[in-house]
Amino acid sequence: MTGTQNQAGPELTQKLKRVGILSDIHGNLHALNAVLEQLDSDNVDQIICCGDVVGYGALPNECVETLRSRNIPTIAGNHDHAALLMTDISNFNEIAKAAVLWTKKVLTEQNFEYLRQLPLTLRDSTNNSFYVHSSPKEPGEWHYILTMGEARTNFNHFTEQVCFIGHSHQPFIIENEEGNLACPTRPEIELRDGRRYLVNVGSVGQPRDHNPRPCYVVLDYEAKRLEIKRCNYDLAGAQQAIINAGLPRELAERLAHGM
Ligand code: ZN
């Protein structure tokens, strides 16, 4: 089982002003490039990826190589492990399974090795933030956090002020003020002392909140502001790449619906 792996990831030690957090790229290079362009013009001094670099999209090698070339700290997602057959895919639907097996076939040896060594979590004590793909409670079990009850339990499994996750492809912010949980619907909030936050940063490459635009988060540590952001990208290009690769057509179609 993946849950028995060492869960301790690397530490970040640099004091940050602005950080951009992205997740669930899923081989969609067109979307990744658009988000990185936005983050560059947004003057972030660090970008961090919460996993699922591959799976579904047609350009997994290019996505891995983009993260590698920019030295973006990245943690492992279930689809990254699935493509390496490091996790059980019997509960994946047929389309997801087909994408996993296609991805496994096309990944270069170097990129395979890169994905294999990704940690399950990233602790940033310097900036008081924690990163995991699925849940801080059991990072390698790939649980979803979909209810306030699950969120409440998971607040007990990180000590930092903010925990960033991905996995469900549905962005949210949950605010915890001494045990009182709230879910602000506005995309931008002020971080307050004495409150803690669980933030799902949404998905770059396959959003599932009925909004097809790539999603990501910017946290400004100096201004103490956190914002869920969206951007435009070459959706038709990403769809065409999926069709050209011979992947299931549904994977191209769903990108247009944000589902
Ligand atoms: Zn994902």
What are the extents of the domains in the chain?
Answer: 18-255
Overall average pLDDT of the 215-235 stretch: 98
- Residue 9: the pLDDT is 63
66 CA → ligand 1 middle, Å = 18
4-32 residue pLDDT tens: 344 556 778 889 999 999 999 999 999 99
5 CA → ligand 1 middle, Å = 20
144 CA → ligand 1 middle, Å = 11
HSE, side-chain direction, 13 A CA sphere, residue 76: 30
CATH level 3 topology of 18-255: Purple Acid Phosphatase; chain A, domain 2 (3.60.21)
40 CA → ligand 1 middle, Å = 23
- Residue 143: the pLDDT is 96
169 CA → ligand 1 middle, Å = 6
188 CA → ligand 1 middle, Å = 23
Overall average pLDDT of the 61-69 stretch: 98
Strands (E), the chain: 18-22, 46-49, 121-124, 129-132, 162-165, 172-177, 180-182, 188-190, 195-200, 215-220, 225-230
- pTM value is 0.95
- Residue 8: the pLDDT is 57
162 CA → ligand 1 middle, Å = 20
104-127 burial, b at 16+ Cβ within 10 Å, e below that, comes to beebeeebeebbeebbbbbbbeeb
143 CA → ligand 1 middle, Å = 12
- Residue 1: the pLDDT is 36
95-154 residue pLDDT tens: 999 999 999 999 999 999 999 999 999 999 999 999 999 999 999 999 999 999 999 999
99 CA → ligand 1 middle, Å = 12
87 CA → ligand 1 middle, Å = 14
- Residue 91: the pLDDT is 87
29 burial class (0-12, 13-18, 19+ CB within 10 angstroms)?
buried
93 CA → ligand 1 middle, Å = 13
Q: Is the pLDDT of residue 253 over 70?
A: yes
